[in-house]
Structure 1
């Protein structure tokens, strides 16, 4: 079995490499010499399926812009950032590149990203959903434009809750959710919930529901040690009640998720994760509103999923902006990709993508429509170093799950590591 998996992985890698060669050939090798088309290096993360869709979009762009040839490059998420760090250190940053919200300030502060409002024809953002129009702005400069967006929700197995006699209300508090998933765990043959206290993003939402923030605009931690201790104590108590799956089972299931391995009846996570969970499990899963102890504020924001940026040192800023505009706003791109890159950020692309959405992507779109009134406030730009804080949050909470550290010591460790990362 393992040999078969290795063979499959090698085959997929070979196919991806072959497709990349085709993409590069289609992008052309002509440069500015002799008055030929200019070349734009365009990098993104994703798999071979996304690259195939990307080539369809690139073909349309190149047909309508014969003066521009795209030289594409793609890799998986982890490799993408390793490669980009190497390229940026050596001055070889791509002309156009996918950007993640967590890394935006870091690359912007390093002077690596072009201000897209200062190019000859600025990228229009007026058709983006209201909560995404300011995404990509750092210190008044637009270093990126949102390509897609998502938000948080509760993903659950309706059958498991029904079997436990637990009704799903339109809204419930965290205390009610904790009691419900504890009840489900007693009857469902699985845990009631995945450990939501392991996710820093959920902690941030939990704080917003109380009128607080995790990080300030200038990159300081506003939350207190007591805030984090109260949040993590929820996880300790729910795990003791049997509501969360044992940590060793979670580790054994990897790389399959807890929901995919049928270890839990629900989870609090990004709504776009519904598609992944549905692909891993035979269960019929649904989306519901996030728990909140404040009925007037769910603490939700429309979070940029993928953004597009241009290199500050590009020789072709106008053409780079044209490509970004096309990828973000052209309805034909939305029709090609559907929900492959998440739900599109622009209204025109969302409308064009709707007929091509999978059943799970359509469920995500419907869910976001039901909570649209909560998604108009832009997400706060994460400070540089937030990636380290996020990783530390997950790692330290795992120590809590194994019972190797106290809540007080866990909170102190996270604050120490995060404060060092944000300096």
Structure 2
């Protein structure tokens, strides 16, 4: 089985300010589009985020596309994730939106609602999605309109380093049955039986993970009306208390080291250095951590009620103000449907949605990447319905969660107090 998602629409939100987006106006240009030739090509801009390895692969894809389409030139613009959205907000506000732009998480909703993204259903020659796995086309739909095309899918997972487990004399968990209590016990044992500086785990304070945590407890992260959180104060407190307990037991590093680890490059994190047994992680990030033979398993608590779901790890949108939408669409189609592009990108942007490209890519993947593909198939087989779309005003939730988690780990506040602050602040954001 491959990515058998139930049909849904994905509506998300962003940190991009409404004021900035309102400056852009709506709708694509009404003037006839220029059709480029080898002697007089059209030029489109493509913006994405990522590290140097992703940039190199993407520029190689651009070269391959240009060789196949001599009438189109693509100007690539790579930015680190931490500054990508600020840069994009500035460009959008200034009327300088790239023709093709990478999207993820909560951003497509805000961009589309302000007229920044083109409704792809209006293209004269639609982007071919006939080979996409069931459910993956719908990941780019908002209110029934196709605003983005998924570059690949991923999911939340637990990454394990078997070498750390073996050195500590701790058995690997059975991910069909293990619980969060067992997770805490395992993390404590790993630290106790490992050299100083090696730990069982580290905290996770990501809003997408928190949606998983909420769903496992039978609660949605956000209420159906999108005007307040759906997760209870007790459930938030439980997660904060667990991570404080892990820190106090030594199963997790001290607060200062956690802050450093969160901001480190993947290979410089504790798990990247072979100094951590378990890490909650996006599935497509595993291969960037370490050359070690890592494992990817279901998170604790996924039975009987699963919380994880398949989602787009990156999506491609086209600017509604692009003067070259046909060329932009042809480039997006190449990114997601070309086996040549797939060979270069592999699973860097998640596992390809196009099943033919996926079949081409699989034999080229490293062992860790093949493990990711197998893991995503297992998640797909659970047939879990994705959560309702994240509502407007939710773009700051991750920052609010991280801040309150940090305050708990530094013992500036209690888990219960931090949970109340988290809920009050997020609800205030949602009510704006």
C-alpha displacement of 1:289 = 1.7
Checking the alignment, whether the CA contact within 8 Å between 1:131 and 1:379 is kept in structure 2 is no
The aligned runs of 1:103-114 (5 Å cut-off) are 103-114=107-118
Aligned to 1:337: 345
C-alpha displacement of 1:34 = 9.8
Aligned to 1:181: 187
2:215 corresponds to 1:215: no
Q: Give the alignment's TM-score, normalised by structure 2.
A: 0.82
Aligned to 2:44: 40
Q: Give the alignment's TM-score, normalised by structure 1.
A: 0.84
Residue ranges of structure 2 left out of the alignment (5+ in a row):
1-32
Aligned to 2:173: 168
**Aligned-partner SS, 1:117:** helix
Distance in 1 between residues matched to 2:260 and 2:326, nearest whole Å: 50
Residue ranges of structure 1 left out of the alignment (5+ in a row):
1-30
**Aligned-partner SS, 2:396:** helix
- Please report the RMSD computed on the Cα atoms of aligned residues, expressed in angstroms: 2.5
CA 1:122–1:238 in 2, change beyond 3 Å: closer, same or farther? same
Distance in 1 between residues matched to 2:239 and 2:155, nearest whole Å: 20
Checking the alignment, whether the CA contact within 8 Å between 1:154 and 1:269 is kept in structure 2 is yes
Distance in 1 between residues matched to 2:384 and 2:357, nearest whole Å: 18
Distance in 1 between residues matched to 2:50 and 2:147, nearest whole Å: 22
Of 186, 201, 210, which residue of structure 2 is paired with 1:193? 201
Aligned to 2:57: 53
Distance in 2 between residues matched to 1:361 and 1:193, nearest whole Å: 22
Aligned to 1:273: 285
CA 1:192–1:71 in 2, change beyond 3 Å: closer, same or farther? closer
The aligned runs of 1:124-163 (5 Å cut-off) are 124-162=128-166, 163=168
CA displacement, residues 151-207 of structure 1 (integer Å, 9 cap, x when unaligned): 1111112233343343421421112222222222221233221123x3333321122
Checking the alignment, whether the CA contact within 8 Å between 2:158 and 2:280 is kept in structure 1 is yes
Of 296, 308, 325, which residue of structure 2 is paired with 1:300? 308
In the alignment of these two chains, the number of paired residues is: 388
CA 1:157–1:384 in 2, change beyond 3 Å: closer, same or farther? same
Distance in 2 between residues matched to 1:154 and 1:33, nearest whole Å: 48
Higher relative contact order (CA 8 A, sep 6+): 2
2:302 corresponds to 1:290: no
Distance in 2 between residues matched to 1:83 and 1:100, nearest whole Å: 15
Checking the alignment, whether the CA contact within 8 Å between 2:161 and 2:274 is kept in structure 1 is no
